[in-house]
Structure 1
Amino acid sequence: MEQRLLRNRGYLTLMIAQLISSIGDWLSIVAIITLVGLKWNATPIEISLIILCLAVPMALFGPFAGTFADRFNRKTLMVLSDLVRAGLVIMLIFASTIWMVYMCLFGIGLFAALFIPAKNGKLKELVPDSQMKSAMSVTSMIDSGTKVLGPLLSGLLVTAFGSNPVFLIDSATFVVSAVLLITLPASVFSNEGSVEEKGKTISFKEDFLEGVSFMKGNQFLLVGLSILTISLLILQLSDSQIIVLIRELTNASPDLFGILVTGSGLGMFFSGWLLAKKTDYKPILLMLLGVCGMGVSFGLLAVFTGMDLESSIVWGPGLGLIAGFSAGLVFIPFQAAVQTDTPVHITGRVFGVINSTTTTATIIGPLLGGILVTLFGVIPMFIATGTLLIIMSFIGLLFRSKIERSEKVVSKSEQGTQGTASS
């Protein structure tokens, strides 16, 4: 990572806020899934609905939220989102049925849909394009690092004190994040209020279509988005059912789910660290290799579980680490390319389109996965997921040279002037 990035006060503040709130997120997510999946003995469909409640708001309101983030003060929107989510997490303490959990998670997902494009837009303001690959890698390292720390802390806290302290801590992390975000530098360009061009007020619909039009004109980003979306759809057929897969093991440790998630987080952290130091990579090649790696790890999870192999506390997290490392190879290069190629004034809209598309895959995948697992069993579903991902990666590799040629001819004129921030 470049030393100049370390001296960027606004970027560091944004990353610290992300670190704190992400730790809280993982504390509560693992606590909820453990509670519902193991203690309440929820069905595969009920477990899938937990993921859906967080994902549906992003799919439905992501494009609108992205337009909102380009029209209004991004810092204000992030602070508001954090404070509202802090209150919703507190409400989880009083949830006595799974439906109350669903309602709280839907609200949290709704304000996350507003936060994400605002954060990506602010990141574009704070970091120059020359440092964006390193910045996105560090962002991924923070996400994956908290994926390691969060489950470990959650397991300890839930075991010692129950779930309520976990939710209180998560709520507090949102408040601390909001306080930090207030100190971010203000944008030097105005994105508040209605947008006008030649005396004519631009509608939200026209703003949204501008983001869609930009994506349609960038063939490389369209291909990358297609790879990301399809792989997510296939992955989510099984990913949301890992707790069900663990039930198939005769001597599975009660902590196996949290430890497996930790292994996945370590894998993503390592890939982020590697890509932060080596930024001269070919994005499409890394993405396809990552898809293949995820397929291999999910397939082996099914095979080893079907064999009821001993020492699941070793091979489970090991395969989780491979899956996490591979996922980092898919997400980080694509997100860095989007940030670099997108003009600062439409970053929210572009990420709104991307988030809506990818989140739709995370909605369909768990729902369809829950149904298929119920009909055919969890082990065949994991084998099918692994096989499809491997096939997809090989097909992509056959056309890689053509895809990479399209990357080289992306017009430089589509890249807007980099936004900066004032103190």
Structure 2
Amino acid sequence: MKQIIIPLRERSYRKLFSAQLLSDLGNWLDFTAIYTLVVFSWELSEMWIAALTISLGLPWVLVGPFASVFVDRWSRKKVMYICTIIRAMLALSLIFVPNIHLLLLIVLVKSTCGALFDPARQGAIRLTVSEKNLPQAVTLSQLSMNSMKVIGPAIGGTLIAILGPTSPFIIEAIGFIIATFLLLRLPSLKSESEIETINRKGNQRFWSDFMQGLHHIHHNFILKISILSTALVMFIIFLYDGLLVFLSQDLGFNEAGYGLLISAVGLGSVLGSLLVGYIPRWKKHPLLFMCTSMIFSGTTTFLIGLGGMKFLLGPLMVWLALAFLLGAIGAGATIPFGYILQSQTPSSMMGRVSSVAQSTQTFAMLIAPAIGAGIAEIIGVGFLIAIAGAITIFIGLLGLPIIVKLKQKLIIVTEQRGM
């Protein structure tokens, strides 16, 4: 545990991480409250839930990659604190939102601010932490994102039960305001080489800058394969993610049991992130670690799918244990991806490259649920999950020989960067 928190000894990174923690919490704290408002208060149909999901994800696909060109030109500090204070105001406006149409607009703008904040944060990490502490810094960042996806909705639900349906929006706004003050106390977050690059960009065209990010990804095989494989795995996961409630019924869980199943996945993701951060030896061969994780997570998914098909029978604790393993292995694999993204990308391009990576993953996550639901209606949820697991195993096995050949190259690149 001490190894993971070492980057927090560096003052600038400590402020950045604290702000990210509050930002990640704010991204998910209102999740339960918004869906409760749509379903229980306004009693709207599934069509509006789909529209809400699109409003949440669309900015990450369409806005992020293009706006990131300006994120790389502008002060990352300014981008982060401006986006954070806007989200604070939007969170407060949710208290008074009168209808679904205005709600969708607010959610769209709030997600757009998040899509701008994230690439700025990615670029800020390397400017606030020393190179030797970068793997642990990436681990902490990933741990914040993974844990808040679980903790945020849970806290939001608790606040609704105790203080009322608008309380998550108030707490969320307070968190964003505190994060803004933390971000204002950061240094300028610009290296000398980056300042020179920005000064030369006055006469360059937008598309030239945008294509530089794509060109960097295209000509860096390690980065390219990690982005594509992560997006593919995200697509596979979200084929069945929204159908887990039906899987839980097939496994014999009731409503409370479904909550336990989701909590097991969430707890596994948090502890998996901690474990990977505690043993950072994977940084020598991060792609190999990712590939191996795919094989193990695919195997776990396949076994759970067989349980949904009634081919495997077992007590509920077995399925909870497998759900925990699935979360732990899956979350652990995301940290090496974050490390590759940071170590293989110049600071001046971090906004563009990280936005392309994020948009690729988000696009996969947006289109997968509809495809998964259509397939599940034909073959069943259990069969779908078993197939998803088998495909994940196949991808991992397919990538092993390629990654083994790349291993020596990655070692050389890492040594040259002094990591």
Task: Evaluate the alpha carbon distance shift between residue 261 and residue 52 of structure 1 in structure 2; reply closer, same or farther with a 3 A threshold.
Answer: farther
Residues 302, 3 of structure 1: CA spacing in aligned structure 2 closer, same or farther, 3 A cutoff?
closer
Greater shift in the superposed pair: 277-286 or 108-117: 277-286
**Contact persistence 1:147–1:261 (CA under 8 A):** no
Give the C-alpha shift of residue 345 in structure 1: 1.1
Distance 1:371 1:103 in 2: 28
8 Å Cα contact 1:50/1:102 also seen in 2: yes
Task: Report the CA distance between 1:57 and its aligned residue.
Answer: 0.5
| Gap regions ≥5 residues in structure 1 | 419-423
* Matching residue of 1:343: 346
Match of 2:286 among 283, 287, 291: 283
Q: Which amino acid aligns with 2:402?
A: K
Q: Which residue of 1 aligns with 2:403?
A: 403
1:157 aligned to 156, 159, 176, which one?
A: 159
CA drift of 1:221 comes to 1.3
Give the Cα–Cα distance (whole angstroms) in 2 for the partners of residues 403 and 251 of structure 1. 40
**Mapping 1:208-227, distance limit 5 Å:** 208-227=210-229
Q: Which amino acid aligns with 2:384?
A: A
What displacement does 1:90 show?
A: 2.4
Distance between the aligned counterparts of 1:79 and 1:39, measured in 2? 33
Tell me if structure 2 keeps the 8 A contact 1:237–1:369.
yes
Compared CA separation, residues 8 and 346, structure 1 to 2 (3 A):
same
CA distance in 2, matches of 1:36, 1:244: 22
Aligned equivalent of 1:240 = 242
Deviation, structure 1 residue 268: 1.8
Structure 2 partner of 1:265: 266
Q: TM-score, normalised by structure 1?
A: 0.84
**TM superposition shift of 1:414:** 12
**For the structure 1 residues 6 and 193, does the alpha-carbon distance in structure 2 shift closer, same or farther, using more than 3 Å as the test?**
closer
Pick aligned residue for 1:176 from 173, 178, 185 = 178
Q: Give the conservation status (yes or no) of the 8 Å contact 1:23–1:146.
A: yes
Question: AA paired with 1:271?
Answer: G
The structural deviation recorded for 1:116 is 0.5
Change over 3 Å in CA distance of 1:161–1:250 after alignment to 2: farther
Paired letter, 1:286: F
Bigger drift between 210-219 and 181-190 goes to 181-190
Say if 1:195 and 1:148 are closer, same or farther in 2 by CA, change over 3 A: closer
Assess if the C-alpha contact under 8 Å between 2:265 and 2:327 holds in 1. yes
Deviations 1:30-80 (A, max 9, x none): 333455567777666554443322111111012122211110010111011
Equivalence for 2:9: 7
CA distance in 1, matches of 2:84, 2:327: 27
Contact 2:71–2:116 (Cα < 8 Å) also in 1 = yes
Question: Cα offset for 1:251?
Answer: 6.5
2: CA distance, partners of 1:278 / 1:88: 40
Count, aligned residues = 412
Alignment identity in percent? 27
1:394 is displaced (CA, Å) by 2.8
Residues 182 and 261 (structure 1), Cα distance of their counterparts in 2 relative to 1, 3 Å cut: farther
Q: Which residue does the alignment assign to 1:388?
A: 388
Letter in 1 for 2:119: P
CA distance in 1, matches of 2:60, 2:254: 34
Q: How much has 1:230 moved relative to structure 2?
A: 0.8
Mapped contact 2:304–2:385 kept (Cα < 8 A): no
8 A contact 1:27–1:154 mirrored in 2 = yes
8 Å contact from structure 1 (residues 121, 344) kept in 2: yes
**1:61 matched residue in structure 2:** 63
The DSSP-based 3-state class of the residue aligned with 1:21 is helix
Q: CA deviation at 1:236?
A: 1.2
Taking a change above 3 Å as real, the CA distance of residues 319 and 2 of structure 1, as seen in their structure-2 partners, is closer
Counterparts of 1:43 and 1:288, CA distance in 2: 40
Query: Contact 1:66 / 1:117 at 8 angstroms: preserved in 2?
Result: yes
User: Once the two structures are superposed, what CA deviation does each residue of 1:160-193 show, in whole Å capped at 9, x if it has no partner?
Assistant: 3332111211122111111111111222436579
Structure 1 counterpart of 2:364: 361
The CA deviation at 1:124 is 1.6
Shift of 1:122: 0.6
CA separation of 1:407/1:216 partners in 2, compared to 1, >3 Å: closer, same or farther? farther
1:388–1:256 CA distance, 2 compared to 1 (3 A): closer
Counterpart residue number, 1:421: none
Q: Tell me how far apart the structure 2 counterparts of residues 299 and 30 of structure 1 sit (CA, whole Å).
A: 30
Query: Which residue is equivalent to 1:91?
Result: 93
**Cα-to-partner distance string for 1:193-241 (whole Å, 9 max, x where unaligned):** 99454x9722221111111111111111111111101111121122134
Task: Name the Cα RMSD after superposition.
Answer: 3.4
Structure with a larger share of its residues in helix: 2
Distance verdict in 2 for CA 1:332–1:146, change over 3 Å: same
1:134 counterpart letter in structure 2: Q
Write the mapping of 1:297-308 to structure 2, written as runs, cut at 5 A.
297-299=300-302, 304=307
1:229 is aligned to: 231
Give how far 1:335 is off.
1.0
> 2:139 is aligned with what amino acid?
S
Task: Provide the residue aligned with 1:74 in structure 2.
Answer: 76
For 2:26 and 2:351, locate their aligned partners in 1 and report how far apart those are by CA, in whole Å: 25
Q: Are 2:293 and 2:330, in contact at CA under 8 Å, matched by a contact in 1? A: yes
Whole-angstrom distance in 2 between the partners of 1:417 and 1:185: 24
Q: TM-score, length-normalised on structure 2?
A: 0.85
